[in-house]
Structure 1
Amino acid sequence: MASIASKLRQLQSKACQATQFASKHGEVYYKQMIEQNKEHIQEPATVETCNRLAKQLFYTRLASVPGRREAFRKEVDQVKQAWKNRKDVKVEELGVAALFGLECFAWYCAGEIVGRGFTFTGYKV
């Protein structure tokens, strides 16, 4: 129980440090970010403007679905064609495919570890 209390005190201390840092430097960072990105700001900043932009984003993304679906179909066709010609595949291409698969698996494992709270067993201490 003492180790949990010790970890809680450490966590509280780090939270206080983060809060102090944010309160000291947050306003400067905010002003700098706004200044650098002011061409993206819509005036007037009203609820109606925000709702209009949200609708524009949603329907623009929705309108892009057919193009993305077609691109996906082309990629699937390329994979099918590569599978048909698998006897002609070079060792270098197999190596790249193996490394890509390994990288995907590593990112999956990293995501699982992060999702469990950076534990390997699933139990938090």
Structure 2
Amino acid sequence: MAALGSKLAALQSKACEATRFAAKHGCAYHKTLMEKNKHHVVDPPTIQKCQELSKQLFYTRLASLPGRYEAFWKEFDSTKLLWKNRSNLKVEDAGVAALFGIELYAWSCLGEIVGRGFTLTGYHV
């Protein structure tokens, strides 16, 4: 139990240190970031303009769906063709496919862990 207390104290100390760093350097970082990206800022930044931009983004994304749908089916067709000709598959291509599958599985596992509240067993302590 003492080990848990010392870990908690160390974590609290690191959190306080990070908070002090953010408080000291946060304003300067924000100012620099906004200066570098001022060409992206709509002036004046009103609620109405934000709502308008939000709607534009939403409908632009919707308008891009047919192109994405078509690209998906092209990719799917090329995958089917690759599967048909799998006897001609090179070791490098199989390795890339295996790594892609492992990456998908890892992201799935990570999503499960996040969904359980960052616990490995599913039980909250």
TM-score by length of 2: 0.81
Confirm whether residue 102 of structure 1 aligns to residue 85 of structure 2.
no
Counterpart of 1:28 in structure 2 is: 28
Matched letter for residue 30 of structure 2: Y
For 1:3 and 1:55, locate their aligned partners in 2 and report how far apart those are by CA, in whole Å.
52
Kindly report the root-mean-square deviation, in angstroms, between the aligned alpha carbons of the 2 structures. Answer: 2.5
Counterpart of 1:4 in structure 2 is: 4
For 2:4 and 2:116, locate their aligned partners in 1 and report how far apart those are by CA, in whole Å.
18
Counterpart of 2:84 in structure 1 is: 84
Larger RCO, structure (CA 8 Å, separation 6 or more): 1
TM-score by length of 1: 0.81
Confirm whether residue 68 of structure 1 aligns to residue 50 of structure 2.
no
Once the 2 structures are TM-superposed, how far is the Cα of residue 120 of structure 1 from its aligned partner?
A: 5.2
Counterpart of 1:17 in structure 2 is: 17
For 2:48 and 2:87, locate their aligned partners in 1 and report how far apart those are by CA, in whole Å.
59
Q: Which consecutive unaligned segments of at least 5 residues does structure 1 have? A: none
Once the 2 structures are TM-superposed, how far is the Cα of residue 100 of structure 1 from its aligned partner?
A: 2.7
Query: Are residues 29 and 50 of structure 1, via their aligned partners in 2, closer, same or farther at CA, if it must alter by over 3 Å?
Result: same
For 1:92 and 1:16, locate their aligned partners in 2 and report how far apart those are by CA, in whole Å.
48
Count matched residues.
125
Q: Equivalent pairs: percent with the same residue?
A: 63
Q: Which consecutive unaligned segments of at least 5 residues does structure 2 have? A: none
For 2:72 and 2:11, locate their aligned partners in 1 and report how far apart those are by CA, in whole Å.
45
Of 73-82 and 8-17, the range deviating more from structure 2:
8-17
Matched letter for residue 79 of structure 1: T
Once the 2 structures are TM-superposed, how far is the Cα of residue 9 of structure 1 from its aligned partner?
A: 2.0
Query: Are residues 33 and 85 of structure 1, via their aligned partners in 2, closer, same or farther at CA, if it must alter by over 3 Å?
Result: same
